[in-house]
Amino acid sequence: MNRRNIFLLCAIGFLQGMVFYAPVATLYRQAAGIGIFEITLIESISLMLSILLEIPWGWTADRIGYRKTMLICCGVFFGSKILFWRASGFIGFLLERILVAVVCAGLSGVDTGMLFESCGQGDSHRVFGIYGYLQQAGLLLAAGVYSLWIGSNYRLAGFLTVVSYGIAVFLALFLQEVKAPEESRITLRESVSVLAHQLKDRKLLLFLIAIALVNETHQTITAFLNQLQYTRTGMSVEMISLAYILLSLAGLVSIFSARLSALAGAKRLGSGLILGSCLCCLMLAVTGNPVVSVLAVIGLRICYGILQPLQLEQQNRRIDTKYRATALSMNVVLMDSIAVFLNLLYGSAAEASLPGSMLLGALFCLVSMLLYRRSW
């Protein structure tokens, strides 16, 4: 076990979780001159670019090593937060999301793959739970700072996020490589072989589609649509900030994922969590009450928080090639391709009817649950 890497990666996750503007991310963008459809359009463009970069990044990571990839991506992530801090209008935020797309494609499979290689298979689920816990703890701390000291000063929240991501870059300098140089070289022919193997695994494909549906539903609702739901029910900015703190607290449940999986079994636990997500979306579709809305969003976050370490562990466990970063990047290509479509669909639905978009989320979660059960 490489304790140094585990500590540094968890610390980086904590710092990159400290997005001080997260409680008002949608309001921040709207105040800077863009609307909800433009926000979801930017997200879709970012996802499409990320898809294009996924496999090249995975191939690159398996050649240059995980450490160098982490360092490059942390540096670009830092630059994206500087750009977000100063951005205004559609072009500014689009450029920021282009940098984020580069980072997401580079980091996907590398941070978790590095954790997996650093701790070994036997302890991976527990470590993924701690990793998710610390990311949420960073969000919680940032939300607390926002609520107590920042208020409506959105740009200050952007600047503090820049500082946090700058420290993360510094810590990345001290990571250690987890693969020998000869293990990090992958040819184009071997990349095609890995892809062919992934496409033949029917259960893996069903699993990835199921996870993509529930993940994107969670992401869209808890990052964007929840704030529209809150304002629709009459909540003030201060109340929205408090709701975000509660949402961040709910995300801390990821640390219990491994224990719950051992008790209930991965298949049963995952099915129950996805079904729970479906019920939360239904609650959001039919309510105009602020308390019920907050509880439903928190329920969605709890389900996701427990599911995330489980699905990361399952993805890594189902890989039987030494080119882990390449294989995980191929998984993300499929999931992000689905997310692009869902993102635009959610944006269009929300423009027409916010309750309708929540109903759409319930439908996708139901389909996700059925596919998840078939993937075992």
* pLDDT surpassing 50 at residue 182: no
For residues 61-68, average pLDDT:
86
Q: CA–CA distance from 19 to each of 91, 141, 285, 297 (Å)?
A: 21, 9, 28, 19
- For a pLDDT cut of 90, what percent of the chain falls above it? 47
* pLDDT surpassing 90 at residue 282: yes
Asked if residue 132 lies in contact with residue 10, where contact means CB atoms within 8 angstroms, the answer is no
Tokens of 90: 């559609």
Asked if residue 42 lies in contact with residue 97, where contact means CB atoms within 8 angstroms, the answer is yes
The CA-to-CA distance between both ends of the chain, in Å, stands at 29
For residues 173-178, average pLDDT:
91
pLDDT in tens, 289-311: 999 999 999 999 999 999 999 99
Instruction: Transcribe 77-103 into DSSP letters.
Output: HHHHHHHHHH--HHHHHHHHHHHHHHH
pLDDT in tens, 73-106: 999 999 999 999 999 889 999 999 999 999 988 8
Instruction: Transcribe 118-153 into DSSP letters.
Output: HH-GGGHHHHHHHHHHHHHHHHHHHHHHIIIIITT-
For residue 236, the tally of other CB atoms under 10 A from its CB is 11
Asked if residue 305 lies in contact with residue 251, where contact means CB atoms within 8 angstroms, the answer is yes
